[in-house]
């Protein structure tokens, strides 16, 4: 399986809602000792979970063109779209909610659109990290904005839920 953590490269995006995927990757216990190498226009690592080897990717392209990185990894490893799990922020999901979705619509997420366009399929799974929808203002500014102090307090619990869901998916293979 290929697990893709979405985010934007650069320190200015480090703790933004759009980088929830990158943030989760950095908190996952079984990836703490993984060696990340530059590959596929991103950071790539291979790690074992319950004796099974999996591929992990953090595209270092911007979110809107993350499909370039994912398509390169899929082609190299000859992986089918159904063998891909994309970890991403989701404004259509309430803050603090983490869920798995298999295939389906892309909910206007430009990173998911880029991946679907370049791999030619929506049949990949998603681990959605809910960041909620802004009550007012621009969605782009909201997702590129940093988490509030109150939100940051509960992020470790959210990422723990995300790690548990990811393990469930990986253990079920």
| Cα 71 from Cα 68, distance rounded (Å) | 5
C-alpha 59/C-alpha 88 separation (Å) is: 12
* Structural domain count, the chain: 1
Number of residues that this document lists for the chain: 173
Measured CA to CA, the distance from residue 157 to residue 24 in angstroms comes to: 11
Which residue bears the tokens 């690592």? 45
DSSP 8-class letter at 35:
-
pLDDT digits (tens, 9 = 90+) for 61-114: 999 999 999 999 999 999 999 999 999 999 999 999 999 999 988 888 999 999
Beta strand spans in the chain (E): 2-5, 37-39, 42-49, 52-59, 84-90, 98-102, 125-130
Helix (H), strand (E) counts: the chain: 5, 7
d(CA 61, CA 68): 8
Catalytic pick from 18, 54, 88, 109?
Answer: 18
Alpha carbons 68 and 81: distance in angstroms, whole number: 14
pLDDT tens digit string along 110-157? 999 999 999 999 999 999 999 999 988 899 999 999 999 999 999 999
Is residue 155 helix, strand or coil? helix
Could you list the residue range(s) of the whole structural domain that residue 67 is in? 2-171
Which CATH number is 87's domain given?
3.40.50.1470
Pick the closest to residue 114 from 157, 85, 164, 71 (CA basis): 71
Is residue 55 flagged as an active site residue?
no
């Amino acid at each position: 399986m290929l697990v893709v953590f979405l985010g934007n490269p650069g320190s200015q995006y480090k703790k933004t809602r759009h980088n929830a995927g990158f943030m989760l990757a950095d908190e996952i216990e079984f990836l703490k000792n993984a060696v990340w190498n530059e590959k596929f226009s991103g950071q790539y690592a291979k790690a074992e979970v319950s004796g099974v080897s999996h591929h992990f990717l953090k595209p270092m392209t911007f979110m809107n063109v993350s499909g370039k990185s994912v398509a390169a990894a899929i082609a190299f490893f000859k992986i089918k779209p159904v063998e891909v799990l994309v970890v991403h922020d989701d404004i259509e999901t309430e803050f603090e909610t983490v869920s798995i979705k298999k295939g389906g619509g892309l909910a206007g997420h430009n990173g998911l659109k880029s991946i679907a366009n370049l791999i030619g399929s929506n049949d990949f799974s998603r681990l959605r990290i809910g960041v909620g929808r802004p009550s007012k203002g621009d969605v782009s500014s909201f997702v590129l904005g940093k988490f509030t102090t109150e939100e940051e307090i509960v992020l470790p619990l959210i990422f723990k839920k995300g790690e548990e869901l990811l393990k469930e998916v990986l253990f079920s293979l």
